[in-house]
Structure 1
Amino acid sequence: MRFRHRAAAGFATLLLPLAGLVGLASPAQAATSATASYTKTQDWGSGFEGKWTVKNTGTTTLSSWTVEWDFPSGTSVTSAWDADVTSSGTHWSAKNKSWNGTLAPGASVSFGFNGTGSGSPASCKLNGGGCDGGSVPGDAPPSAPGTPTASGITDTSVKLTWSAATDDKGVKNYDVLRDGTKVATVTATSYTNTGLTAGTDYSYTVQARDTADQTGPVSGAVKVRTTGGSQEPPPAGDTIKLGYFTEWGVYGRNYHVKNLVTSGSASKITHINYAFGNVKNGQCTVDDTYAAYDKAYTADQSVSGTADTWDQPLRGTFNQLRQLKTKYPHIKVLYSFGGWTYSGGFGQAAANATAFAKSCKAVVEDPRWADVFDGIDIDWEYPNACGLTCDTSGPAAFRNLSQALRAEFGPDYLVTAAITADGSSGGKIDAADYGGAAQYLDWYNVMTYDYFGAFDKDGPTAPHSPLTSYPGIPQAGFNSADAITKLKAKGVPSAKLLLGIGFYGRGWAGVTQSAPGGTATGAAPGTYEAGIEDYKVLKNSCPATGTIAGTAYAHCGSTWWSYDTPATIAGKMTWAKNQGLGGAFFWEFSGDTGNGELVTAIDDGLD
């Protein structure tokens, strides 16, 4: 449908003019030489942003780098990116990541950090030598250890064993990470973690440290559940209750994973789609890396009640989702790629579906967050049809893409897709082989919303999410019942179809007629976008005055809105059960009230 599923995301730091360089480096002539130079790129009074640049000025490749400096008392690093930054008192060290340590002759790399205080770096060292171009050692970091195996699991302990890492100068010890936080440093290739909670899920990884105290990449993750305890049961039956969590919602909307807990929604859902990953150059990629895995959460913002530290391997929403799954073990999380804005990349992806599928699995199984995701969701708007852009990849492209994803991810991962709900004759459902693709997918999220709205600025006014047709509906086939019927006729099993609910309304301005079908002059004002408003706002600002085709509408002054309420959702859930559907999904959590009224209505209606 036409809802964009994407809003502009703000950045964590302000883009201010570039400040002057601090002269800590100059070119060098030695064959195995390198420089490290510092720039203060931003200064906002209470803090600043700094950037170091390491350049290989020699004629041989540099295999790793460590930059050290001293800050005066009162100046410190609060967060960093593209390097692992540690401190001892006022002395600071930054080591390369696993992916940016190698520098060919003439190449350079930068890393940055946010800090507090007004001091500047002093006593700079690069790999133990000077930062001004003298000869520097080139010690490579250790390799990743093998993925740990778990044994001897009890109510309160587990033994972990892993294969050794390798290093050119020797491995000194290993850091054992539990749910992304270091719990021990050991010299052996095994460790027994005690003091655990019975009946609780944990995730363990291991990281090697060499004799120069460089850390290598993190190993793969092993999931462990201690024995005993009383696991919170999932919602009754196999009914799916899925909500979208938007990556950009952590900015202007100030909606975070903890809100799922405080609203009571977490105990009433079964699945979360994290939206959206991007599709670029025919491959899956993380979109906003800061929101996804770098943003630091304070103790009061965190699901676990523990503050993030600047040096932990994983932060951001991914880490909060990990904590949510620990607290609510029944919840499964899928990484959703595409959406209205990012669907333009699917045509290229479909041209080499196998390569696309491999790239997606590499993102989903990244060792830093492999335990967070239970599957992948593809939101292609729309195969062989037009959305924000028009696709001409042919009717078989979507089926081929789905087949490749299933082949790559295998039977243990969920593979799903959000699809059009255009039930018109010759419409978008008819444009692609949704029936053939269904055999490879666990279910479809049928986007049964956004049928009508102020993208047609003159009207006629109509409910954006009609359950059924009605006399005077502006377009035949634009309703949930017709879409579901058409998909079933194409061979999609009822249990693989989820009914879509929008946690928002669509509205027009300049409307004089209360009943649907009136004329308008344009889009009604909205908090984030004209013509769209969250349910949590509309329930008070423009309460429903009537219902049509299973959806509420409201005429307030000169504006006209349509949206779902707890009462209309109850009716839609009854219809979904009578149709034998697999459940329901919704876009998206932040549109609901603080106490989760709409999520509760879905949960109650499907039980």
Structure 2
Amino acid sequence: MRRSMLGRLAVAACSLSLLTAFAPAAGADGGGGASGPARSYKKVGYFTQWGVYGRDFQVQDLEANGSAGKLTHINYAFGNVSPQGTCFTGNVPGEADAWADYVRPLDAANSVDGVADTPEQPLAGNFNQLRELKAKHPGLKVLISLGGWSWSTHFSDAALTPASRKAFVASCIDLYIKGNLPQDGSRGGAGAAAGVFDGIDLDWEWPGSAGDADTTFRPEDKRNFTELVKEFRTQLDAYAKSRRKKTKYELTAFVPTAPAKIDAGFDVRRIMRDLDFVTLQGYDFHVSGEPKTAQQSALYARGDFSVDGTVDAWRLRGAPAHKLVMGMPFYGQGWTGVSGGGDGMGQPATGPAPATWSAGYEDYKALKTLAGSGTYQVHRDRLGGHAWLFDGTTLWTYDDPQVLRAKTGYVREHGLGGAMFWSLDADTADGELMTAVDRGLREH
């Protein structure tokens, strides 16, 4: 997921249905008969643990901007894996943030229910706010997402043997599903977070191939990931049965674009039997650290990575369409010092563009302001299904509501499971991108 430059990846084929899938109006559904009002699509948004700080994006903002009522799932990013191969939390800079998760008190103005946290309550922070959000939206599910780019370091070790897998899964269920949090003053304790999480999202980047610089990977990761998924499914189902739970705990995974990474780490047919769905990497096809500008999230791209190529790669390896949830970026990748003229795309650049939080990475809400500034021109590749901003020197490639409308049309046409977004804190104050996706998936 994010906090990263996801890898430079292999070539994806361009679909033959370019014009129809990118038509500006959403007429009748395409083949497959899976669209329309009878179809229930997943709408999965990532809520970032650290977004409550500099961005000051609270769980309550999902209620205020209308996104909570449109989402089916919130993935909480992230839970970490210890060197001992267990799920853990605490206050360890760069490794865990119990303060944000469940210790930090919120006042009435920043609480979903409008009531300030008290010093005595065992659960506060983001976890308690997610619980309050679920109370307002009973159909909403919250999953803990484990790993991410920075915190996949010890996944390979945790999955290495039957014993290590069993212990790892048990520790994650104990911490997040049973809600047995470490005591931190009055916060935490046995069952403090019970009922907050409805399942687990596996975001191991990447089994069998390179990820972040300190992330271990092995050739046997592919087999071990398959067995890890099976172990999660077995233990989650057993715990649900022990509680006489009417619905199962969900199990999902974030998976890559590159065919080489898919083949190195994912036994597709086997893992799809145990996973409820997977969210496809639909962005970071190119990133601002590269020497030339390029699209980061095109729907179609001949001889390059694309959403369509990602879908094809997973379907060709046996993944059912209805279990594929398309990833969509709520941010852009940017370059500066762009030379060569024209519209700026495919041209040399001197480096990542200056940005609010991290060079080369900017939230959609900021890019929308740039688009309306009169300085930048909006460019579109209507066949490729992507957009970018260019002012003659700086270029940003991103998804706006028009692009997302085309992508939701693709989801409906191809019978996919829905849409996923990284990340919810990058949307506008009125949830413009979330609304565009929601409306697009409702069209028929």
Q: Which residue of 1 aligns with 2:263?
A: 430
Distance change >3 Å, CA 299–CA 575, structure 1 → 2:
same
Q: 2:206 aligns with which of 382, 400, 407?
A: 382
Matched, 1:409 2:236: yes
- Give matches, 1:61-460, under 5 Å: 237-280=39-82, 281-286=84-89, 287-351=96-160, 352-364=164-176, 365-366=178-179, 367-388=191-212, 389-394=215-220, 395-410=222-237, 412-423=248-259, 427-432=260-265, 433-456=267-290, 458-459=291-292
Deviates more, 1:323-332 or 1:547-556: 547-556
C-alpha contact 1:449 1:465 (8 A) present in aligned 2:
yes
Q: Which residue of 2 aligns with 1:496?
A: 323
Matched, 1:578 2:413: yes
Distance change >3 Å, CA 467–CA 297, structure 1 → 2:
same
Q: Which letter does structure 1 place at the counterpart of 2:134?
A: K
Q: 1:484, CA displacement in angstroms?
A: 0.9
Task: State how far apart, in whole Å, the 2-side matches of 1:507 and 1:319 are.
Answer: 36
Matched, 1:531 2:360: yes
C-alpha contact 2:338 2:344 (8 A) present in aligned 1:
no
Listed one character per residue, the Cα deviations across residues 208-234 of structure 1 (whole Å, up to 9, x for unaligned) are: xxxxxxxxxxxxxxxxxxxxxxxxxxx
Distance change >3 Å, CA 397–CA 439, structure 1 → 2:
same
> What percent identity do the matched residue pairs reach?
43
C-alpha contact 1:447 1:500 (8 A) present in aligned 2:
yes
C-alpha contact 2:344 2:392 (8 A) present in aligned 1:
no
Listed one character per residue, the Cα deviations across residues 94-137 of structure 1 (whole Å, up to 9, x for unaligned) are: xxxxxxxxxxxxxxxxxxxxxxxxxxxxxxxxxxxxxxxxxxxx
SS in 2 for 1:334: strand
Q: 1:469, CA displacement in angstroms?
A: 1.4
SS in 1 for 2:206: coil
* Larger relative helix fraction: 2
SS in 2 for 1:396: helix
Listed one character per residue, the Cα deviations across residues 52-103 of structure 1 (whole Å, up to 9, x for unaligned) are: xxxxxxxxxxxxxxxxxxxxxxxxxxxxxxxxxxxxxxxxxxxxxxxxxxxx
C-alpha contact 1:2 1:450 (8 A) present in aligned 2:
no
Q: 1:526, CA displacement in angstroms?
A: 1.2
C-alpha contact 2:86 2:167 (8 A) present in aligned 1:
yes
C-alpha contact 1:245 1:588 (8 A) present in aligned 2:
yes
Task: State how far apart, in whole Å, the 1-side matches of 2:132 and 2:330 are.
Answer: 25
Q: 1:435, CA displacement in angstroms?
A: 2.8
C-alpha contact 1:358 1:408 (8 A) present in aligned 2:
yes
Task: State how far apart, in whole Å, the 2-side matches of 1:406 and 1:569 are.
Answer: 33
C-alpha contact 2:335 2:396 (8 A) present in aligned 1:
yes
Task: State how far apart, in whole Å, the 2-side matches of 1:236 and 1:250 are.
Answer: 37
Distance change >3 Å, CA 599–CA 258, structure 1 → 2:
same
SS in 2 for 1:241: strand
C-alpha contact 2:75 2:143 (8 A) present in aligned 1:
yes
Q: 1:544, CA displacement in angstroms?
A: 5.5
Which segments of 5 or more consecutive residues in structure 1 lack a partner in the other structure?
A: 7-234
Q: 1:540, CA displacement in angstroms?
A: 1.3
SS in 1 for 2:395: strand
Task: State how far apart, in whole Å, the 2-side matches of 1:505 and 1:454 are.
Answer: 9
Distance change >3 Å, CA 435–CA 515, structure 1 → 2:
farther
Q: Which letter does structure 2 place at the counterpart of 1:481?
A: D
Task: State how far apart, in whole Å, the 2-side matches of 1:285 and 1:415 are.
Answer: 19
Task: State how far apart, in whole Å, the 2-side matches of 1:253 and 1:421 are.
Answer: 29
Q: Which letter does structure 2 place at the counterpart of 1:598?
A: L
Q: Which letter does structure 2 place at the counterpart of 1:378?
A: L
Q: 1:510 aligns with which of 327, 337, 347?
A: 337
Q: 1:238, CA displacement in angstroms?
A: 2.2
Task: State how far apart, in whole Å, the 2-side matches of 1:400 and 1:486 are.
Answer: 22
Q: Which residue of 2 aligns with 1:190?
A: none
SS in 2 for 1:337: strand
Listed one character per residue, the Cα deviations across residues 355-399 of structure 1 (whole Å, up to 9, x for unaligned) are: 111111011112111111100001000010011035115221211
Q: Which letter does structure 2 place at the counterpart of 1:463?
A: Q
Q: Give the superposed CA RMSD.
A: 1.7
Listed one character per residue, the Cα deviations across residues 427-449 of structure 1 (whole Å, up to 9, x for unaligned) are: 11111223321111000011110
Listed one character per residue, the Cα deviations across residues 174-226 of structure 1 (whole Å, up to 9, x for unaligned) are: xxxxxxxxxxxxxxxxxxxxxxxxxxxxxxxxxxxxxxxxxxxxxxxxxxxxx
SS in 1 for 2:159: helix
Q: 1:297, CA displacement in angstroms?
A: 0.6
Q: Which letter does structure 2 place at the counterpart of 1:545?
A: V
Task: State how far apart, in whole Å, the 2-side matches of 1:572 and 1:448 are.
Answer: 10
Higher RCO structure, 1 or 2 (CA under 8 Å, sep 6+) = 2
